[in-house]
Structure formats: C-alpha cells, structure tokens
Amino acid sequence: MLSVVVFLPLAVAVGLVAMPRVSDRVVRSVWIAATAADLALVVALWIGFAPGPSGFAYEVNQRWIPTVSAGYHIGVDGLSLPLVALTAVLFLACALYSLRQTHRMRAFAALFLFLQTVCLGVFVSLDLILFFVFFDLSIVGMYFVIALWGHRGAARAALMFFLYTFLGSLALLLGFIGLYVASDPHTFDIVALTAQNPLAGGGIFSVLVLLAILVGLAVKTPTVPFHTWLPPAHTEAPAAGSAILAGVLLKLGTYGFVRIAMPILPGTWRDYSPAIVAIGVAGVLYGAFVALGQNDLKRMVAYTSVNHMGYILLAFGAAGLVATSDAQAHDLAVTGAVTQMVSHGLITGALFLLTGVLYERGRTYDMDAYGGLAARTPWFARVTAVAAFASLGLPGFSGFIAEFQIFTGALGPVPVATALAVVGILVTAALFLRALQRVFLGPVRAAGNGDVADLAGAEAAAIVPLLALAVLIGVFPRFLLDVIEPAARVVGTLVSR
C-alpha cells in the first residue's frame, strides 16, 4: 500500500502527459482527484499504523542493485508518517489553489504530481541510494516549476536554486559513499547501517563523513550560510511552487538529520552538537532580523523560513548534548523538532499561498504599495492575520506546541543559546504585526485603488484547511505527538550509544 501512495501521483502524471489534448478543466479535475485519493490513502495508513519489530510499518524490502547492497527498502515510522501526511495535504492544497491556473496547465499539473512522488519517496526511503535518487529528483522538479512558471527573474533564481542544491546533493552522496565504505558488510541500507554504527570509533574519517552529510542537508534546509538561494527562489516562484518549496522541500533536509546523521553517526553527532546548536541559533536570529528589514512580503516570509529551520537545528543539537544524560530532554527536543517541521509546513505553506493571492490582485509583493485592504477584503485580511499569528507561535496553534517542546528540551543543556533563540520569537512577532499594519490598515495606496476582489472560493478551500490543521494540532496535539514520541525515544536510544 505504501508503494501505491508514493507512485500514484507519478502514474497520474504520466497518464496526463500521454493523454491526447484535453481541456484545462479536465486536467484540474484529474489533478485534484489524484491528490485527494493519495491523501485518503495516507489517512488509511495513519489509522492502521502499527510499527513492526524493526520500528517501521508498511515495510517493503526488495533487491535493487545487489552488487552494492542497495535495495528498494521503504517504510514509515513516527518520524516519517507525519511528514508523509503533510506532503499529501500540501499538494492537495496547491491543486485546489491552482484552479485558476491557465498557463501550460497540463505540464504544470504533471510536474507537481511528479514532485509529490519524489517528496513522498524521500520520507519513506530506508536505503541511502533510494533516498538520494528521490532527493535529487526533487531538485529537477522544482527547477522547472520556478523557471517555467515564475516571475521576471525566474530563470536566474531557478539556476541559482539548482546549482546550490545540486552541489549540496553531491556532498551528500560523498557522505553516503563514506558510510558504505565504513560498513561491514558493505551496505546502503539505513536500518542495517543504524544497527552497525559503522563509525563508532570516531576519528577523522567519521568527521569528514558527517561534514559531507551535514553540508548536503544544510543546503537543502537551508541553514546559514547556505541559505542565499532561498529568497530569490521564493520571490520568483509561483505561489504554489513557493508553498511546496517551503512546506515540503525544506523538510527533506531537516528530515535527513534525524533519519540519517543522528542515528547512524551518534558519537560524532554528540561531539559536534555544540556547532549544530550555534548554527541553529545563527539561523534563528539572522532569519528574523533580515525578515524584519524586508519591504517585499514574499521575501519576508522566505526569511522567516530560515528562522524556523534554525529552531529545528537548535533542537537536534541540544538533543545530541543530552542524549547520554537526560533522555526526557532529548525526547522533548526531537519531538518538538518534528512537530515544528509539520507546523512550519502547514503555516508557511498557507502564508505563501496568501502572498500569491495578494500578487494576483496588486501585481506586486511590495508592502508599501498596499494599505487599507482590510476594509475591501475582510476575509483575506482575517485569514492572513490568523496565518501571521500562527507563524509567530501564538498559543492555540501548532507552532506554540513545537517551540514550547524545543525550548523545554534545549534550556537545560544550552540555556544561553535557548535565550537567544527566544529573541527570534519577539522579532518574528514584530515583523508580522508590522506587515499586517502596512498592508491591511491605514490609508489605501496605489495597488488597492481598483476593484480588489476578496478571497476566492478555490483560494479559501486551499488555505483555510491548512490553518485549521494548525489549530487542531495546537488544541489537540496528542494525535500527532502519540505518533512522534515513540520514534523520538528510539532516536534517543541510538544517539546515546
């Protein structure tokens, strides 16, 4: 069943491309039906989720490249299942949002369905080569989304995105080859490598392998100083592309930390956890303060992604520091980090779709071009305000649950770093309140002088459910935490070896 979830979107994409000329209406209907069916299958996976002795459910392990012991090995646990669900939800939201899309509709839908398969593939992969194949293909898919459907500077932004992230993937491949060489017997299987702990003795080779993996994942996340491709890519991408880039593709990097780097290289991860903490805090503060200085609304939201990814790195670094001394703090930090991945995907995905709504009305992201829109577009103003408050971590939303766990888990081992990270929340609150005031309050400016339509039905159908899920997690977090916490404890056991 898990293979069906992964490859159903790709099969539909191939079918769309192979079909004779069809209307855009048919393409939209097929796209929405495919993503809705995939989400229904994911819900069924969640309901029937019962990890086996290996810790994974719905596991499939077939020979693929036997000469290097690489296989088609997939499965889900409490770390990956929430991200699989997030992926299905966001791709359905983007399909609904794109009901008004008219430019190259069939290619647009097929490309998003392809992206859905490769993103799901990363989250279910239990083999390093399989992980890398899906990881690399996501770069190709997003390159074409930005280049073909982006704004005026799309070609340069797409090229910058591709070169940066492809270079990172090459570093990641070197790290994977290093793990293969160190293992005995040689294997690319993640479960087998985790059990082996092939570089338990430490040494320079283990440091180099960890460095290669960290660089590859850090570029994708992205963390400071590997973040410079992100703002141009977001600014020039279409709204649906930005929502997937922020909501799903960035999580491919952070997921790699907790799936590969931490459990397979536990000793080296513990040794270099202070550096991970420092990088995380740098991302939190840099992202928040640079976002505060932006006039471009979409670019501002892009920099808040750097800020939120910093919290995840802070949590993973702190978890490494307490892995052998405080299991509860470790589990809190890891659980908070995974919850943050889900929360950020929902909320920031909604924010990017909302910036797309604004651009459709005013043809600019410049906040100084707007003003007084709350009186003309009350529903758009209300939904944007909810998304902004959710992003700054207000209680009642998923972001609060995530950040509370991260700070609780990190405060003991790294109190100064945690205190500095809290400053990021204050700055984030200031920048979102400032943005709401400039766009929706005060006198009407040029971009709002014409007939400004309120939130359309398709746009609301895409955005409101994302925020509703953020509220659901914020008010009733147990349904998510009960899945994540057992897997976080397993990671704690592995990292403490």
pLDDT per position as a tens digit, 272-316: 999 999 999 999 999 999 999 999 999 999 999 999 999 999 999
Percent of the chain predicted with pLDDT > 70: 99
Taking the domains of the chain in order of start, what are their residue ranges? Answer: 1-496
Q: Which amino acid is at 65?
A: I
Cα distances (angstroms) measured from residue 37 to each of 4, 11, 50, 223: 11, 13, 22, 34
pTM recorded for the entire structure: 0.97
Question: How many whole angstroms separate alpha carbon 378 and alpha carbon 94?
Answer: 23
Give the pLDDT of residue 363: 85
Percent of the chain predicted with pLDDT > 90: 86
- pLDDT greater than 50 at residue 449: no
CB 363 within 8 A of CB 438: no
- pLDDT greater than 50 at residue 202: yes
DSSP characters over 84-130: HHHHHHHHHHHHHHGGG--TTHHHHHHHHHHHHHHHHHHHHB-BHHH
> Which residues touch 459 (CB under 8 Å, ≥6 apart)?
97, 353, 357
- pLDDT greater than 90 at residue 21: no
What tens digit of pLDDT does each residue of 342-364 get?
Answer: 999 999 999 999 999 999 888 89
The average pLDDT across 127-141 equals: 97
Question: How many whole angstroms separate alpha carbon 273 and alpha carbon 267?
Answer: 10
Residue 210 burial (10 A CB sphere; 0-12, 13-18, 19+): buried
Averaged pLDDT of the chain: 94
And the tokens for 33? 């039906």
Cα distances (angstroms) measured from residue 469 to each of 95, 240, 414, 465: 18, 18, 31, 6
- pLDDT greater than 80 at residue 446: no
CB 340 within 8 A of CB 403: yes
Question: How many whole angstroms separate alpha carbon 398 and alpha carbon 344?
Answer: 9
Q: Which amino acid is at 176?
A: F
> Which residues touch 494 (CB under 8 Å, ≥6 apart)?
194, 262, 263, 266
CA-nearest of 404, 393, 387 to 466 is 387
And the tokens for 46? 């969640």
And the tokens for 166? 């492809």
